[in-house]
Amino acid sequence: MRKILKMKTEMLMFFILIAVVSLGNGFSDSLYSNYFKEVYHITAVQRGFIEFPRELPGMLCMVVVSLLGFLGNIRVALIAQILSFVGLTILGFFTPSFSVMLVFLFINSMGMHLFMPLRDSIGMSLADPNKVGLRMGQIFSVGSAFSMIAALIVFFGFKTGFFTFNTSIKVVFLFGSGCFLCAIIMASMMLKRVKPLKERRGKVKFIFRKQYRYYYTVTILKGVQKQIAFVYGTWVIVELLGKKADTLALLYIIVGFISMFFLNKLGKMMDKFGIKNMMYADAISFVVVYVIYGFFVWGITSGKLPKEGFTVWMIYLLFVLDRLSMQIGMVNSIYVRSITLDKNEVTSILSTGISLDHVFSIIAGVAGGFVWAKLGSQWVFFIAAALSLGNVYVAYRVQPEKEKEEVEKRLHELAC
């Protein structure tokens, strides 16, 4: 009974950490497109190049986790929140030159990306082995709920003029840094509670094995899809439709509200229908959304569709569906854990995957800017749809149950 209570307390603390981190990201990462546009007046090509310093921390994630791995997951999570806090605090108090801004954007982004593999790894380590999908769904639901709360505050803040990018001090970013300060406190408290858990204490290695080839493939594809969703999907609304931060905040409110229920249900669906079926759903959703996105963007830029009415509502709908599709990708973390011999390697595998994700994410960000400017903005989405067929192929090829049985057989042999 004492052990159960202890696990509940640890999970509650982790939920609080997820909540305040989600609030912090809601007051920062979701607003960067408007920040770049309104403060630095960048073009689509420049927007693509900004993704290099913003996504470079993700590419370096594998190296950083390796260097800091001896500290353990919770301590590295604490460092991640400190970096997020420092970077965003400077951007909040000052309006630096473009080049200096990129430096602190990098620091903030390093903290955010460093926490990504740790969130999944810590969450799965705290979960009951038979309820990993359910627990991950709850974790992501908590994150979505507090992202929605942040979006609500952002919406009313910009509507009333309390938040603005037209002053030297960006109050909205200071709200975010305050949340990361709370995350620092919570991560510090977790150090004492989570210490007894089986946590990786040695050096985290780079892991490239044949058994993880499908996971790394979908991770690479996710890097491309993420750029389309979070950069160019947003840029359609900011650049082509000319909408401000309050519009994006309202869309994030909708995404967050739906996600609270969607992700919790998604976790249960993973336990019920299995990993393979959910990977199919993930893959097909990307292909469909990006094909439709491409046609509507083509209609807007060619003048065949008006920048109002039904067209705008369809873009909003696609924006929401795109983000919901991205969230189905949490099945990949559950998949890789199910086929891993040594559970202590999960953080290494996830961080390696995030690094691969961001290598191709950076390439996609820069290439997408040129495609947008030279070939037409619709081709960014058509190319993304074509690449998403790779997800369909992976879903067809993976055999999670068979692979899991082979892992269990191997573990039994090693035990003997």
What's residue 196's pLDDT? 44
Taking residues 308-322, what's their average pLDDT?
Answer: 90
Q: Which range is least confidently modeled, 149-153, 265-269, 280-284?
A: 265-269
Taking residues 290-314, what's their average pLDDT?
Answer: 90
Tokens of 349: 């595998």
Q: Would you call 412 exposed, middle or buried from its count of C-beta atoms within 10 A (0-12, 13-18, 19+)? A: exposed
Taking residues 168-193, what's their average pLDDT?
Answer: 92
Taking residues 330-340, what's their average pLDDT?
Answer: 75
Confidence tier at 364 by pLDDT (50, 70, 90): confident
Tokens of 383: 């190319």
Q: What is each CA distance from 79 to 104, 298, 415, in whole angstroms?
A: 16, 44, 36
For residue 29, pLDDT beyond 90: no
Average pLDDT, the chain: 82
Whether residue 249 contacts residue 237, with contact meaning beta carbons closer than 8 Å, is answered with no
List Cβ neighbours of 33 (8 Å cut-off, separation of 6 or more): 47, 231, 234, 235, 238, 248
Whether residue 328 contacts residue 285, with contact meaning beta carbons closer than 8 Å, is answered with yes
Q: What is each CA distance from 19 to 88, 182, 297, in whole angstroms?
A: 17, 10, 34
Taking residues 14-22, what's their average pLDDT?
Answer: 93
- Specify the number of domains making up the chain: 1
Q: What is the DSSP letter of 231?
A: I
Q: The domain spanning residue 292 has which CATH number? A: 1.20.1250.20
Q: pTM for the whole thing?
A: 0.69
Q: Which residue has the higher pLDDT, 274 or 28?
A: 28
What's residue 9's pLDDT? 78
What's residue 131's pLDDT? 67
For residue 405, pLDDT beyond 70: no
Confidence tier at 110 by pLDDT (50, 70, 90): very high
pLDDT digits (tens, 9 = 90+) for 114-125: 898 788 778 777
What's residue 198's pLDDT? 44
What's residue 2's pLDDT? 44
Q: Which residue has the higher pLDDT, 140 or 384?
A: 384
Share of the chain above pLDDT 90, in %: 22
Q: Which residue has the higher pLDDT, 150 or 42?
A: 150
Taking residues 260-288, what's their average pLDDT?
Answer: 80
Confidence tier at 408 by pLDDT (50, 70, 90): low
Chain length of the chain:
416
What's residue 411's pLDDT? 57
Residue type for position 271: D
Residue 148: helix, strand or coil by DSSP? helix
What's residue 409's pLDDT? 67
Q: Would you call 396 exposed, middle or buried from its count of C-beta atoms within 10 A (0-12, 13-18, 19+)? A: exposed
**Whole-angstrom distance, CA of residue 11 vs CA of residue 41:** 43
List Cβ neighbours of 54 (8 Å cut-off, separation of 6 or more): 32, 105, 106, 109
Confidence tier at 1 by pLDDT (50, 70, 90): very low
pLDDT digits (tens, 9 = 90+) for 388-400: 899 899 888 887 6
For residue 199, pLDDT beyond 50: no
Q: Which range is least confidently modeled, 66-70, 94-98, 312-316?
A: 66-70
Q: Which residue has the higher pLDDT, 382 or 345?
A: 382
pLDDT digits (tens, 9 = 90+) for 81-108: 999 999 999 999 998 998 899 999 999 9
Structural domain of residue 231, as residue ranges? Answer: 2-415
For residue 354, pLDDT beyond 50: yes
